[in-house]
Copies of this chain bind each other. A is one copy, B any other.
Amino acid sequence: MGETKKSVTMKDVASLAGVSVGTVSRVINNEKGIKEVTLQKVTQAIKELNYIPDAYARGMKKSKTETVALILPSIWHPFFSEFAYFVEKELSNLNYKLLLCNISGGKREIDYIKMLQENKVDGIVAITYSDIEDYLATNIPFVSIDRTYANKEIPCVTSDNKAGGRLAAQKLIEKGCQEFAFIGGHNSTTNTTKDRRQYFEAYLKEQNKKYHILDLEEPIHDLEENVRQLFTSHPSIDGIFTVNDFTALDVIRTLEKMGRSVPDEVQVIGYDGIRLASGRDYPVTTMKQPVDAMANEAVRILMGIINHTPHQLQVTLPIRYIEGPTTKK
Q: Which residues of A contact B (CB under 8 A)?
A: 67, 70, 74-78, 81-82, 84-85, 88-89, 92, 97-102, 108, 246, 249, 274, 276-278, 280, 283
Contacts and interface: CB of A to CB of B under 8 A. Distances in A.
15 contacts: A67-B99, A74-B85, A74-B278, A75-B75, A75-B85, A76-B277, A78-B81, A78-B276, A81-B81, A92-B102, A246-B276, A246-B277, A246-B280, A249-B276, A249-B280
Given A76-B81, A78-B81, A100-B100, 4 more contacts: A75-B81, A81-B81, A81-B84, A274-B276
Contacts of A274: 276
Contacts of A283: 276
Contacts of A88: 75, 100-102
- Interface secondary structure of A, over-half rule: mixed
A75 B92 CA distance: 14
Lowest 9 A-B CB distances belong to which pairs?
A76-B85, A81-B81, A100-B100, A77-B277, A98-B100, A76-B82, A75-B85, A75-B84, A75-B81
Contacts of A67: 99
A75 B81 CA distance: 6
B89 A81 contact: no
A85 B72 CA distance: 11
A69 B76 CA distance: 18
A75 to B, nearest CB: 5
A223 to B, nearest CB: 13
Contacts of A249: 276, 280
A249 B75 CA distance: 23
Interface centre among A88, A246, A276 (most CB of B within 10 A): A276
A198 B88 CA distance: 37
Contacts of A70: 100
Contacts of A280: 246, 249
A84 B100 contact: yes
Contacts of A74: 85, 277-278
A288 to B, nearest CB: 14
